[in-house]
Structure 1
Amino acid sequence: MKNQNIFTVSRLNAEVRLLLENEMGIVWLVGEISNFSSPVSGHWYLTLKDARAQVKCAMFKGSNRHVSFKPVNGNQVLVKARLSLYEPRGDYQLIIESMQPEGDGRLQQEFEKLKMSLAAEGLFAQSLKHPLPAHPKRVGVITSKTGAALYDILDVLKRRDPSLPVVVYPTTVQGEHAAIEIAQAIGRANSRNECDVLIVGRGGGSLEDLWCFNHEIVARTIAASQIPIISAVGHEIDVTIADYVADVRAPTPSAAAELVSNDTSHKKQSLTTKVQQLHNVFRVYLAERKHQLQHNIQALNALHPKHQLQRQHQRLDEAEYRLTAAIRRRLSQETMRLKAKEHRLALNSPVKKLSEQQFLLQQSEQRLKQAMQRQLVQLRHQYTLSVEKLDTVSPLATLKRGYSITQDSQGNVITSASQVEVGKTITTKLDKGSIEATVTTITTG
């Protein structure tokens, strides 16, 4: 096996990310928000789910600042996103570029999708457009027979060219079955081939009201029509798929009636028609260029440095989350460890030990006192005995029996006459008192 075929995990995830971003590109997705979070960085992280699956998403603050509502868990939303992969975990995810509530965004998204698809097929190409007849012999009108658009068209035709015949192909222009009925009316007009130009349209309304003119079946039926068709849907600001496919787009039903009718301003009409055709050419050209531009932007975005920055932002937010969780765990562990030490400290508290030692000291002091008292009694008893014994052999006791003790001037006891000299002073101690005398005579023997 060659070394270049051995992948590291990092290289594999990087290759898969590039594959997802380059091959899948931009996707539209509808789902329910869950696990929504908005850290201090300003980025959004959430999960989009349906009944059977879910996908993780990130929307960075450069994109989410354009969202007109605050997402909450449980919201159904439509998002435009770029498929990517978060390399550190190997999780594939969506990088959301726009978000809107499902009801408001779904129709617009379907409109853009169908427009791009039909433009790619070439249905908007100017080469497919039929020129309007310079002098139509009969005009067909496909609209509601009770709508204001019909009365506006008839009023203009009556004013400009009362002799021009009009054939009305009535149909509903709003509701669930309107698209099919409009397509059938166009088909009926082509099969009868009694008109040389058709006006298809209705008055103004919301995107939902005009939605039948954005159906693919209507677009393809208009494109297949052999009779030139003028699309006159809504007001001037309203644009539908039918406007792109039709041979000419009129800003209003009244303007469409002016295009098919001749009067003194025939040259102006011709100029208006050519200007309108030129507008259509530019509109188709711009649609094609926009499609190509979006494709180029998509390819460029895959290599844009901001995506790398966004991935770094996401890694930073995840690292912050892990750090916060680790700090909380560490604080919890340290708190538990501190409580355990406090418990052990309480069990080994110096106050408790001091109390125990004080109790032991009191016991020892009591025993010492008792021992000293016993010792004192014993010593007193021994002292008494010793005193009695001493008293028995004491010279004083001898003196009491009539004996005396003679000492010289130095206090030495005289036991022999040879110890004194004549003229020396001696002291004789008696039982009671003493006698000092001067030696006058010494007798030996």
Structure 2
Amino acid sequence: MQSTSQPNIYNVSKLNNDIKRLLEGNFGRIWLNAEVSNFVAASSGHWYFTLKDARSQIKCAMFKGRNRAVKFRPQNGQQIMVKANVSVYEPRGDYQLLVDVMDMAGDGLLQQQFEQLKCQLASEGLFATEHKKPLPSQVKRIGIITSPTGAAVQDILTVLKRRNPLVEVVIYPAQVQGQYATNELVHALEVANYRQETDLIIIGRGGGSLEDLWCFNNETLARTIFSSQIPVISAVGHEVDITISDFVADYRAPTPSAAAEIAVDSNEELINKFNYLRQRLVHALTKQVHQEKMSLQQLAHRLSAQDPKYKLQQQAQYLDELNTRLISCTQSKLNHYQQRLHLLNQRLTKQSPQLTISRMAERHKQLTNRLTYATKQMLTTKQSKLHSLLRELNTVSPLATLERGYSISYDDNESVITSSKQVKTGMKMVSQLHQGKVTSIVESIE
């Protein structure tokens, strides 16, 4: 029966990327001892070479930022020790080493062992600051663990004598180089802790190669220093030399002479320290007295602030402030309303009907005068015209004719009789005279 699931199909880039992550995740950083081959220093500053043994080889790259720390130039055929990460160069699908650290084979192996032990003890907390014991401020007796015939012990004794000759010294002899050096150093440190006769222990020696100082990179010695009940100063080699003892000791001195300088104070330093402490005490007492005075003044001020009389005064002052603010506010409001009233009065005056009435009355008077004058003028004109018309009317008026002796006759229908044809015999007619009327009956017509 065929499976219905889809196959996991890779492309080349994804495959190389997955292989790279797999190699880097499983191997991490490794140490490798091998022979250099095909060494090339590129113009970019990066190194490219091959590491090989009798049966296999692997390509390597060391970038410019890393190879600057290498103190020698690798040569083909040279045996070296490298610390590197396993990786894959994806564009070509080549797996390679990315080198971080490079040493010659002998020193490299010791360096590898040093790094391994350093990491192991650090992970156990032997180098942690919280486990460091403080150095005593007053040292009366110092223990020195070193070779009794070496230059280091003489340097330490010379410095101690110069700085404070009253300090006693106990020397615990031990070899500081060779096959039995580590055991003797451990034994001397155990004896010093067993006797508990010193306030401080200095362990160390003068300078030398990595192999010469190797006894101070021993795990047993490191654990013995860590377990010491007496504070330990490690003074191994020169300032550039670093050992496991330096990391685990309570204090690391760059040289044995420096350890003696650190261990004890000189007479002058003791006097200076005494004077400094005296000044600090005086300063502290003065400061304390000043602080107490300030505290007393603050308490007096607080007591005064809590006095009811003071509070009443404050309340009275506050009341006066409120009263002043009230008067000021009231006056301000009053002024505001007075100004507003004045503006309203002005507006009311402008809008008052009295002014309009006065203006209208004046206009009425003017119009009345004009009307009276116009009426008189018109009456005069009309009277003149009437007199003229009356004169003209009088000229053509039948009354004037009647006044000269004529009359006007009317029939019963009050129609003017202008012809004899309108009259019949026996008909009554009325004649209008200049003064009065006459009624007559027609007797004959001509």
TM range (shorter): 0.5 to 0.7
Aligned to 2:223: 220
Is the CA contact 1:48–1:56 (under 8 Å) kept in the aligned structure 2? yes
Aligned to 1:251: 254
Name the stretch that deviates more: 143-152 or 5-14: 5-14
Residue 212 of structure 2 corresponds to residue 209 of structure 1: yes
**RMSD value over aligned CA atoms?**
3.4
Is the CA contact 1:259–1:269 (under 8 Å) kept in the aligned structure 2? no
Q: Structure 1, residues 168-206: CA drift from partner, whole Å, max 9, x if none? A: 111111223323322222122223333231110112233
Amino acid of the structure 2 residue aligned with 1:224: S
Q: Structure 1, residues 85-104: CA drift from partner, whole Å, max 9, x if none? A: 24466553212344332234
Q: Within 1, Cα distance between the matches of 2:135 and 2:68? A: 47
Q: Within 2, Cα distance between the matches of 1:192 and 1:121? A: 28
Q: Within 2, Cα distance between the matches of 1:153 and 1:62? A: 41
Residue 6 of structure 2 corresponds to residue 12 of structure 1: no
Quote the offset at 1:65 in angstroms.
7.0
Amino acid of the structure 2 residue aligned with 1:187: E
Q: Within 1, Cα distance between the matches of 2:55 and 2:143? A: 50
Structure 2 vs 1, CA of residues 130 and 270 (structure 1 numbering), >3 Å: closer, same or farther? farther
Amino acid of the structure 2 residue aligned with 1:165: E
Aligned to 1:95: 98
Amino acid of the structure 2 residue aligned with 1:177: Y
Is the CA contact 2:51–2:59 (under 8 Å) kept in the aligned structure 1? yes
Quote the offset at 1:253 in angstroms.
1.8
Q: Within 2, Cα distance between the matches of 1:196 and 1:70? A: 49
- DSSP 3-state at the match of 2:204: strand
Q: Within 2, Cα distance between the matches of 1:72 and 1:38? A: 11
Quote the offset at 1:83 in angstroms.
0.6
Structure 2 vs 1, CA of residues 131 and 68 (structure 1 numbering), >3 Å: closer, same or farther? closer
- DSSP 3-state at the match of 2:30: strand
Residue 250 of structure 2 corresponds to residue 231 of structure 1: no
Structure 2 vs 1, CA of residues 238 and 96 (structure 1 numbering), >3 Å: closer, same or farther? closer
Q: Within 2, Cα distance between the matches of 1:251 and 1:66? A: 22
Quote the offset at 1:266 in angstroms.
4.7
Q: Within 2, Cα distance between the matches of 1:50 and 1:269? A: 65
Quote the offset at 1:267 in angstroms.
5.2
Q: Within 2, Cα distance between the matches of 1:8 and 1:31? A: 34
- DSSP 3-state at the match of 1:16: helix
Aligned to 1:289: none
Aligned to 2:153: 150
Q: Within 2, Cα distance between the matches of 1:50 and 1:225? A: 45
Structure 2 vs 1, CA of residues 231 and 90 (structure 1 numbering), >3 Å: closer, same or farther? same
Amino acid of the structure 1 residue aligned with 2:129: Q
Quote the offset at 1:230 in angstroms.
0.9
Residue 165 of structure 2 corresponds to residue 162 of structure 1: yes
Q: Which has the higher contact order (CA 8 A, sep 6+)?
A: 1
Aligned to 2:77: 74
Q: Within 2, Cα distance between the matches of 1:218 and 1:134? A: 26
Unaligned runs of 5+ in 1: 272-445
Quote the offset at 1:246 in angstroms.
0.9
Unaligned runs of 5+ in 2: 275-446
Aligned to 1:398: none
5 Å matches for 1:160-199?
160-199=163-202
Q: Name the larger-Rg structure.
A: 2
Q: Within 2, Cα distance between the matches of 1:122 and 1:37? A: 42
Aligned to 2:138: 135
Is the CA contact 1:258–1:269 (under 8 Å) kept in the aligned structure 2? no
- DSSP 3-state at the match of 1:173: coil
Q: Within 1, Cα distance between the matches of 2:184 and 2:271? A: 34
Q: Within 1, Cα distance between the matches of 2:273 and 2:250? A: 15
Q: Within 2, Cα distance between the matches of 1:130 and 1:38? A: 49
Residue 122 of structure 2 corresponds to residue 119 of structure 1: yes
Q: Structure 1, residues 142-183: CA drift from partner, whole Å, max 9, x if none? A: 000101111222223334443433221111112233233222
Quote the offset at 1:2 in angstroms.
5.1
Q: 1:261 aligns with which of 258, 261, 264?
A: 264
Q: Within 2, Cα distance between the matches of 1:36 and 1:256? A: 45
Quote the offset at 1:4 in angstroms.
8.0
Structure 2 vs 1, CA of residues 270 and 116 (structure 1 numbering), >3 Å: closer, same or farther? farther
Is the CA contact 1:140–1:198 (under 8 Å) kept in the aligned structure 2? yes
- DSSP 3-state at the match of 2:31: strand
Amino acid of the structure 1 residue aligned with 2:233: I
Q: Within 2, Cα distance between the matches of 1:124 and 1:16? A: 38
Aligned to 2:320: none
Quote the offset at 1:225 in angstroms.
1.2
- DSSP 3-state at the match of 1:142: strand
5 Å matches for 1:235-384?
235-266=238-269
Structure 2 vs 1, CA of residues 122 and 156 (structure 1 numbering), >3 Å: closer, same or farther? same
Residue 35 of structure 2 corresponds to residue 32 of structure 1: yes
Quote the offset at 1:76 in angstroms.
0.2
